[in-house]
Amino acid sequence: LLDYIDEAFFRSNTEMIYLDLSHNSISLIENGAFSNMKYLKELNLEYNKLKYFQKDLFFYIGESNLLYL
């Protein structure tokens, strides 16, 4: 299970469209973790241990249509 996503975790995954990170133990996501994902349309973070995140965390995600928290 994932518990932490650092800034470089998805750096080489620039073409990803759907990302399902649900049902992990993620408690921290660094700012910039999704900054190269300009094509991402759906991000699922449900059922994790996130209590807060910085307001700019999702700023660089392209035309994301769905975000599940």
For 18-64, what is each residue's pLDDT tens digit? 999 999 999 999 988 888 888 888 999 999 999 887 777 776 666 65
Q: d(Cα 60, Cα 68) in Å, to the nearest integer?
A: 17
Residue scoring higher pLDDT (68 or 1): 1
Token duo for residue 18 = 């759907």
Tokens 């073409």 belong to 15
**Contact status, residue 22 vs residue 48, Cβ threshold 8 Å:** yes
pTM reported for the whole predicted model: 0.83
DSSP state of 23: S
DSSP-derived pairing of the beta strands 4-5 and 42-44: unpaired
